[in-house]
Amino acid sequence: MIAKTPPPPYYAVIFTSVRTEGDKGYSEMSDRMVELASQQDGFLGVESARNEIGITVSYWRDLESMRKWRENIEHSVAREKGREEWYQSFKTRIAKVERDYGFDR
């Protein structure tokens, strides 16, 4: 589903990854992170897709909201598990959205 974001400006955290073999609790933790992030002040939405490469984009009101999410204890635990077990490789990019456009049927 495409996230319903407000008019720009806002920020995007783009997380691109290649997974290791097997689930190892990944699916459950992924669902929990979306649930938890959606409760954070400044969270605007998330979009995610996975084939050979996974891409998750979360949208945030401002840099301060993103910083607070990064400091969340459960999120820190998930990041560490990702480094240890779930990802062969990953990259996180932060971008300021200055313009968006599209339509919805």
The contacts of residue 71 (CB under 8 Å, 6+ apart) are none
- Residue 10's SS3 state is strand
For the residues 5-24, what does the mean pLDDT come to? 96
pLDDT at 87: 96
User: Both tokens of residue 29?
Assistant: 């933790």
pLDDT at 23: 93
Mean pLDDT of the chain: 96
Distance CA 101, CA 105 (A): 14
Neighbours of 37 (CB within 10 A): 19
Report all structural domains of the chain as residue ranges with CATH numbers, in order of start: 10-97 (3.30.70.100)
Q: pLDDT for 42-91, tens place per residue?
A: 999 999 999 999 999 999 999 999 999 999 999 999 999 999 999 999 99
Neighbours of 14 (CB within 10 A): 14
